[in-house]
Amino acid sequence: MFDHDVLIIGAGLAGMRAALAAGENGADVAVVTKVHPVRSHSNAAQGGINAALTDRGDDWKEHAYDTIKGSDYLGDQDAVSIMCMEAGQEVINMEHMGVIFNRDEEGRLGTRAFGGQRRERTFFVSDFTGQALLHVLYEQVLKVGVRIYEEWFLLSLIVEEGECCGAVVMEIRSGEIRVIRAKAVIMASGGLGRVFEPSTNALICTGDGMGIAYRAGASLMDMEMVQYHPTTLKGSGVLITEGARGEGAYLLNANGERFMERYAPNMMELASRDVVSRSEQTEINEGRGINGCVMLDVRHLGERLIRERLSQILEIARDFANVDLLTEPIPIQPGMHYQMGGIKTDVNGQTQLPGLYAAGECANVSVHGGNRLGANSLLDTLVFGRRSGEHAAEMTRTKSHKAITDKAAEGDRSYIQDLLDHDESGDMFGRIRMEMGQVMNRYLAVYRDQEGMEFALSKVRELRERFRLVHVPDKGKTFNTNLMFTLELGMMVDCAETIALSAIERKESRGAHTRTDMPDRDDENWLKHILVKSTVDGPQVDHLPVVITDWEPQVRTY
């Protein structure tokens, strides 16, 4: 058994920022991560991070308004205000720690335009911003002496007397199952992209933390709000950054028209993501697409700019689609990218389960609402990662460990043994995972309707039954990835169920949740969040009003 004050699950940007803050505030901190820290999905972030810097004539209130409008008024305005107010300092801190942001002509931090925002406020490092941020934070975390349990897998949270007081984890190398006691646990385990197939997300983005926190008693909120990014590659789902449109790329249909003129005459290709994805899907559905895609054209930006600011997508286009961006447009389509919903927290990261915090993509502080603005997620990870770390360190100062022992791991040990004992009659994880991903991508995508969502829910429940008999052929202890992927699938099925349930519950269209059978937004009845909690009788659905401070809901046009 191991003891720490603050235990963080996840070494992406949220986990690293939380670890640094808690470490600097005097706590004994540990991080558990199933992959090497810099292989976390944050590393793949391309386009940039938003902040309104006053010395550029920008104002956090403008950023907050764009974020709230982008959220289709589902974001809680108190939380959005905090994020936008603290953004500038967070970006400058990262610069001082050593992130080499791109510069403008005068040598100051440079910005690029991003979707749904009326001014350029996205700071970036070419098109690999996440990598630059994550590597620098990793160095800082090592410097303050945080212990990293690298390639350890979270199995469950330990809850005693209604309080989260540690975690059960498996060392992947040896298969050993251990208890880590903690006075506070911060879940920073990232998104669930792979519940959908395909997705822009790494294969490791399987919603483990959301599933585990949900099972432990925390509520998941806004799970119906799944972001489809406007520019992903057909088949593989690999992301082509919004930075391309930020730099001026066009979207074209089969007739060569810049079709966004019809849907968002003011913002064109830089309208909010939900708006652009819907527009593309409409073009495709009405026969103006090409093989289920529309085209993204960057040629007019010129070779120098493309090589300097979009170098990674130049390579991606060549390697994954055999397209030379310098000489031809690339076919793209809307694809699953981000989960706006997650574990409900307050603005200090505290969940409804005492002792448990959450930050980053697995959390829902409620800053993204129905649709996240591009480049607001990296910001969310840093601001609320730091706030969670600070609050947890402070909270644990006067707290002692609960009297738990190694026995706390027995449930997980027997669950895993049981999985390994299944006979060959069941499916292997891969088949169930693929069927789930495809059904979610068909019925819970850009356009939804009652019948499709109900079908998806019943299919997910059928897959859950098949999962009970899942077959794990590899019985070994060392690096049993077969077992790990099977454990992940268990969490993914729970996440999929909460997404379908919440989507069926919301009887209107808002943000990323667009129903062809209920196309209008209904502020009178649905200006509220949908929460799902796990109970002995199954998932329980609840509602919570949206926090409105300064910005009354308006008709949303771009």
Report, as residue numbers or ranges, the catalytic residues.
Answer: 273
Could you tell me the smallest distance in angstroms from the CB atom of residue 98 to ligand FAD? 19
Site size toward ligand FAD (CB under 6 A) is: 43
The closest alpha carbon to 3, from 27, 20, 22, 24, belongs to 27
- Min separation Cβ 269 and ligand FAD, Å: 16
- Select 460 or 484, whichever has its Cβ closest to ligand FAD: 484
Nearer to ligand FAD, 72 or 242 (CB): 242
Rounded to the nearest whole angstrom, what is the least distance from the CB of residue 414 to ligand FAD in the complex? 19
Which residue in this structure is represented by tokens 């939900």? Answer: 274
Q: Which is nearer to ligand FAD, 37 or 452 (CB)?
A: 37
Cβ nearer to ligand FAD, comparing 358 with 504 = 358
Tokens of 131: 């990598």
Interface pick for ligand FAD out of 6, 13, 53, 472 (rule CB under 6 A) = 13
**Residue in the block written with tokens 């990598």:** 131
Minimum distance, C-beta of residue 11 to ligand FAD, in the bound complex (Å) = 4
Angle between helices 77-97 and 60-70 (to 10 degrees): 120
Q: How far is the CB of 174 from ligand FAD (least distance, A)?
A: 15
Q: Are 319 and 211 in contact (CB under 8 A)?
A: no
What is the C-alpha to C-alpha distance for residues 187 and 171, in angstroms, rounded to an integer? Answer: 18
Residue 450 has, within 13 A of its CA and on its CB side, a CA count of 6
Any contact of residue 342 with ligand FAD (CB under 6 A)?
no
Q: Among residues 82 and 252, whose Cβ is nearest to ligand FAD?
A: 82
Instruction: Please check whether residue 126 is in contact with residue 102, taking contact to mean a CB–CB distance below 8 angstroms.
Output: yes
Three-class secondary structure assignment of 320-372: HHCCCCCCCCEEEEEEEEEECCEEECCCCCECCCCCEEECHHHEECCCCCCCC
The answer to whether 124 and 47 have CB atoms below 8 angstroms apart is yes
Residues 22-51, one symbol each (x = binds ligand FAD by CB under 6 A, - = not), give ----------xxxx----xxx-xxxxxx--
| Three-class SS state of 50 | strand
User: Which of 208, 214, 188 is closest to 358 using CA atoms?
Assistant: 188
Q: Are 49 and 63 spatial neighbours (Cβ–Cβ below 8 Å)?
A: no
Is 130 among the residues that bind ligand FAD (CB under 6 A)? Answer: yes
Q: Which is nearer to ligand FAD, 253 or 377 (CB)?
A: 377
CB of 470 to ligand FAD, least distance (A): 17
Between 172 and 504, name the residue whose CB sits nearer to ligand FAD.
172
Q: Which structure tokens are listed for 378?
A: 């990296």
Instruction: Report the nearest approach of ligand FAD to the CB of residue 401 (Å).
Output: 21
| Footprint of ligand FAD on 362-401 (CB under 6 A) | 362, 375-378, 381
Q: Which of 7, 11, 179, 489 binds ligand FAD (CB under 6 A)?
A: 11
Amino acid making up residue 207: G
Query: Between residue 255 and residue 274, which ones bind ligand FAD under the rule CB under 6 A?
Result: none
Residue 15 found at the interface with ligand FAD (CB under 6 A): yes
Give the residues across from 122 on adjacent strands.
50, 112
Q: Which helix (H) or strand (E) holds 16?
A: helix 13-24
Residue found by looking up tokens 């920008």 in the block: 58
Q: Which listed range, 137-145, 271-279, 324-332, 359-367, lies at the site for ligand FAD (CB under 6 A)? A: 359-367
SS3 124: coil
Cα gap 283→179, rounded to integer Å? 53
Rounded Cα–Cα distance for residues 435 and 460 (Å): 9
Beta carbon of residue 199, minimum distance to ligand FAD (angstroms, whole number)? 8
Residues 460-489 that bind ligand FAD (CB under 6 A): none
Give the binding range for ligand FAD (CB under 6 A) out of 75-83, 182-190, 346-354, 509-517: 182-190
**Choice between 204 and 463, CB closer to ligand FAD:** 204
Q: Could you tell me the sign of the dihedral formed by the alpha carbons of 519, 520, 526, 531, in that order?
A: positive
Residues 184-243 that bind ligand FAD (CB under 6 A): 188-191, 200-201, 205, 208-209, 239
- CB nearer to ligand FAD: give 207 or 289: 207
Least distance from C-beta 191 to ligand FAD, angstroms?
Answer: 6
Nearest residue to the partner ligand FAD, using Cβ: 12
CB 18, min distance to ligand FAD, A: 9
Using rule CB under 6 A, residue 360 touches ligand FAD: yes
DSSP code string of 194-257: GGSSS-SS-TT---HHHHHHHHHTPPEE-TT-EEEEEEE-TTT--B--THHHHTT-EEE-TTS-
Binding mask 138-167 for ligand FAD (x = CB under 6 A): ---------------xx-------------
133 binds ligand FAD (CB under 6 A): no
Q: Tokens 């593309």 map to which residue?
A: 280
| Residue number, 13 or 530, with CB nearest to ligand FAD | 13
Which residues in this chain contact ligand FAD in the complex, by CB under 6 A?
9-15, 32-35, 40-42, 44-49, 129-130, 153-154, 188-191, 200-201, 205, 208-209, 239, 338, 360-362, 375-378, 381
